[in-house]
Amino acid sequence: MLPSMDTTTMLIITLGATLLIYIMKLVIERINYIRIIDRIPGPPAYPIVGDSLDVIKPSNKERFDFFSKRAMTYYPMFRTWRGPWAEVHLMRPEHVEIIASSVRHIDKSFGYKFLHPWLGTGLLTSTGNKWHERRKLLSPTFHFKILEDFVEVFCDKSKILVELLDKKADGNEFDIYPFLTLCALDVICETAMGTPVNAQMESDSQYIKAVYEISKLTIERGIRPWLHPNFIFQRTEFGKKYENCLSILHGFTKKVISERRLLKEQEGTKTPESEDFVAFGQKKRKAFLDLLLDVSSDGKVLSDDDIREEVDTFMFEGHDTTTAGMAWTLFLLGNETEIQEKVFQELDSIFGDSDRSPTMQDLGEMKYLERVIKESLRLYPSVPFIGRQLKEDVKIDKYLIPANTLVLLHIYHLHRCEDQFPNPEVFDPDNFLPERTAKRHPYAYLPFSAGPRNCIGQKFALLEEKTILSSILRKFRIEAVEKQKDIILLSELILRPFSGVRIRMYPRK
């Protein structure tokens, strides 16, 4: 039987009232959220777009300086609005520790989703159970014994680099950054995928061009809220360029994974380590991809897409960050001849007149070079900012930061806290003497992040940088063309110099 008109009307009124109450509840919650966030100092913002209109005004060349000046204006903590999303910026070690050390706040911030089309939800971008499982699964791939095997690759690629640089050691100015990039790409291709690409000898790498382009496009999209929806972004010029880069990057890794899987099938089942030898008694070195395939037979643990996520992640993080770290180290040493000479004296005490490649033991003895690298990463951290999304409310100083708020950890500015690093703009490797390190706040220096989401490949990176830098500095003396005050920093995924690292190079002997 049909309900009476009065019953129908009552139902409509009840549903309408319920919807209205729900909407009012959301509006009140939003107003309260805005009030709480806006108690934190920060630049003016507008409805819907936030402060995005101010952020897109500076050119790519000017943007890092814009962000840095803003950070210093509101130091040590401020808030911005990325469209309708609030973001709180932290620059003090005691503030950063609250977020970075927590097992609750491991979710990467909203902006990382723009990396998902490229890197999927691998170790860098995943969260929750997937992140915990991947971290546990991948940690053994960076075991000391495996890293020791990789030193041979570092040495082989360093030799090629030194031979190429020998042709440039004539006192004429050149940019060393592309040489380091190709060397790092050679290293990561062979260690991560077991596939030589001979990037240094065939330097017109479409892969590197695509990495640079997609990094730039990711930043450009992130600062423009109207490009956040996929439907809009994919129909813009930015989106079309992004898709072209994706096809290059994914095509490369998919091809290598397919070929590597086929090769393993042809070789038969996995042999025990004691039998893992090839001709002439040489031990067969396993690449990162091989180790992933070993635990993923028949797709039971990781599918091909899962493996591609991790390989793409390590390809990006494993060559771009180490390139930047090495380039900044050479730039700083090129400006400080006394420190460069101390590095050479240490290397001379280890190798003497020998031109042999470094061993794992030699790398362990490079204590001063290690301090130099760490100080370079303090001044110019490869990843200058880290984003997280809060899982629950957090109190920092007198301010409440509500759950779901984005938090940006300013690694670049954290490393310049004067009470932690006196004369913070001065290049001083003695900042990392054990007695100085012991006195500092444990979260004052985070070039590889910290806490549960610290960088799984930091030992790999340090060994690679020591190997390559020691090979260069044993053979050449370096002079930087620009001073620190002249350098323009690029605000991209990785901290890069706008004009590269321009140096003059001379033979040691």
How far the first Cα of the chain sits from its last, in Å, is 103
Gap between the Cα atoms of 51 and 266, Å rounded: 57
Would the annotation count 455 as a binding residue?
Answer: yes
Q: Contact 42/90 with Cβ under 8 angstroms?
A: no
Rounded distance between C-alpha atoms, residue 163 and residue 96, angstroms: 43
> How far is Cα 201 from Cα 184, in angstroms, rounded to an integer?
13
Q: Are 89 and 78 in contact (CB under 8 A)?
A: yes
What is the Cα–Cα distance from 15 to 20, expressed in whole angstroms?
9
Region at 397 (left for phi over 0; alpha for psi -120 to 50; beta for the rest): left
Q: Considering only CA atoms, which of 79, 125, 122 is closest in space to residue 406? A: 79
CB 186 within 8 A of CB 157: yes
How far is residue 444's CA from residue 437's CA, in Å, rounded to a whole number? 10
The Cα–Cα gap between 398 and 240 comes to 45
Amino acid (one-letter) located at 2: L
CA distances from residue 137 to 11, 125, 306, 371, 383 in whole angstroms, order as listed: 55, 16, 12, 31, 24
Pairwise CA distance, residues 451 & 43, whole Å: 30
Residue 43 C-beta-side C-alpha neighbours within 13 Å: 20
Q: Which parts are annotated binding residues for heme?
A: 455
Q: Which parts are annotated binding residues?
A: 455
